[in-house]
Amino acid sequence: MLESKEITKVYGRKTAVDHVSLKLTPGFIYAMLGPNGSGKTTWMKMAAGLVKPTSGRMYFDGRPLDIDSRRRIAYMSTEPYFYTWMKVSDVGKYYQDFFEDFSMEQYHLLLERMQLTPDLKTSSLSSGMMAKLKIAVTMARDSDVIMLDEPLNGIDLLARDQIMQSIVERVSERRILLISSHLVEELETVADYAIFMKESRLVDFRELEELRSSEGISVTDKYRQIYGTNGGEA
Amino acid sequence: MKYISSVPIYLQVVNSIKEKIITGELSPGDKLPSGRELALQYTINPNTAARVYQTLEQEQVCFTRRGLGTFVTEDGERIRLLREEMAGTLVRQFLEGMKRLGITENDVMEMIRQAND
């Protein structure tokens, strides 16, 4: 279980995350939704142990997040993070050195699905190919938590289907999958729960099938309700 | 499959499987994909896939043999009923739509006859 209790992050005069309490349980896919600047990335970075909270705390399996639990959490950030000299195969080796739970076999499987070859230079990749590479290398880890920050950005429709397939494949009883996106429709059929972030706060938390059966509305409808037709980016 | 995002996904998949049984694309006694395979096939959450099979079992359209998987019912009568149930639902939805348009039952019947000619 991954949990944040009253977690807050302040950068200078800007509060990026404001007293967010949130509990994620293994076995489910969570969609973290909200426009840019709503606090999704900062929350994820705190969950990954990359950003220190100003106040409040992150817990993993009931214990405060530490170096040990960080090893069990895979996080894909929106920033590019490969050295330009690297080939796709080097990226795999680099990850293998860093993470015990990295599987080269899984990596090659994902590369194949994403139509990437090991000999490609990362500096020659288009933005869509780079996005796919980042997903492949992150999802090749057998982690208890996999967090993908905006994995669908800059990715064409067909590649999106491949990515959604890979995400579905990674569901396991012991794993938490968290995907942030402002492309709400893409996550409609795969996510179990939606987390709605607005202006640094958690404003709603919904089970998707429950939303559809009890209110007869989609996540996209809910998104419009929360952010207003002009407020969001959907 | 194209989904209506405001209708429970598990129900849409349940209906899709029922249709395959009625049309004969799936035969009585056929083995259905595992929950995980179903999730991949329909690009749905594996938890949703599990709910699909729960529902189909409850409605006795499918049955599970422990360790072997889920199978289409071998009960021909159940499949015949299934066709009636689904046809009934379609007719009711159609009639509701016509009612909203203010079209009377007689006019509906006449329109069906004309459309069929």
The residue extents of the domains of chain A are 2-78+145-227
Q: How does the average pLDDT of chain A come out, rounded? A: 92
**CB-CB under 8 Å, B43 with A190:** yes
Partners of residue A212 in chain B, C-beta under 8 Å:
5-9
Per-residue pLDDT tens over the stretch A144-178: 999 999 998 888 888 888 888 889 999 999 999 99
Look at A231 and A68; give whichever has higher pLDDT: A68
The answer to whether B95 faces chain A, any CB pair under 8 Å, is no
**CB-CB under 8 Å, A209 with B48:** yes
Amino acid letter, residue B106: N
Strands A29-33 and B69-72: unpaired
For residues A190 and A148, the answer to whether their CB atoms sit within 8 Å is no
Band of the pLDDT at B83, cuts 50, 70, 90? very high
pLDDT of residue A180: 95
Q: Give the distance, in angstroms, between the CA of residue A32 and the centroid of all CA atoms in the same chain.
A: 8
CA distance B115 to B98: 15
For residues A17 and A66, the answer to whether their CB atoms sit within 8 Å is no
Task: Show the DSSP H helices in chain B as ranges.
Answer: 9-23, 35-42, 46-58, 76-100, 105-116
Task: Show the DSSP H helices in A19-174 as ranges.
Answer: 40-47, 67-70, 88-98, 104-113, 127-139, 157-169
Closest CA to A147 of A169, A176, A124: A176
User: What angle (nearest 5°) sits at the alpha carbon of residue A85, between those of residues A79 and A90?
Assistant: 85
pLDDT of residue A168: 92
**CB-CB under 8 Å, B45 with A29:** yes
Share of chain B above pLDDT 90, in %: 91
Compute the average pLDDT of residues B83-108. 93
For residues B103 and B111, the answer to whether their CB atoms sit within 8 Å is yes
Band of the pLDDT at A134, cuts 50, 70, 90? very high
For residues B12 and A188, the answer to whether their CB atoms sit within 8 Å is no
Compute the average pLDDT of residues A29-45. 95
Residues 161-190 of A with CB under 8 A from B: 161, 164-165, 168-169, 171, 185, 188-190
Band of the pLDDT at A230, cuts 50, 70, 90? low
Partners of residue B6 in chain A, C-beta under 8 Å:
212, 216-218, 221
**CB-CB under 8 Å, A27 with B40:** no
CA distance A221 to A223: 5
pLDDT of residue A231: 47
Per-residue pLDDT tens over the stretch A12-30: 999 999 999 999 999 999 9
The interface predicted TM-score of the complex, written ipTM, equals 0.81
Compute the average pLDDT of residues B61-88. 94
B117: closest CA of chain A, how far (Å)? 38
The crossing angle, in degrees rounded to 10, of helices B9-23 and B35-42 is 100
The answer to whether A18 faces chain B, any CB pair under 8 Å, is no
pLDDT of residue A216: 94
pLDDT of residue A23: 97
Q: In what order do the strands lie in the sheet with A63-64?
A: A14-24, A2-11, A55-60, A63-64
Partners of residue A224 in chain B, C-beta under 8 Å:
none
Share of chain A above pLDDT 90, in %: 76
pLDDT of residue B90: 92
B9: closest CA of chain A, how far (Å)? 7
CA distance A51 to A199: 19
**Nearest residue in B to A171, CA atom:** B46
Per-residue pLDDT tens over the stretch A101-128: 999 999 999 999 889 999 999 999 988 8
Share of chain A above pLDDT 70, in %: 97
pLDDT of residue A154: 80
Per-residue pLDDT tens over the stretch B37-70: 999 999 999 999 999 999 999 999 999 998 899 9
Partners of residue B5 in chain A, C-beta under 8 Å:
185, 188-189, 212, 218-221
Label residues A129-160 b or e (16+ Cβ within 10 Å = b). Answer: bbbbbbbbbbbbbbbbbbbbbbbbeebeeebe
Query: Is residue A232 over pLDDT 60?
Result: no
Q: How does the average pLDDT of chain B come out, rounded? A: 94
pLDDT of residue A234: 44
Fold of A2-78+145-227: Rossmann fold (3.40.50)
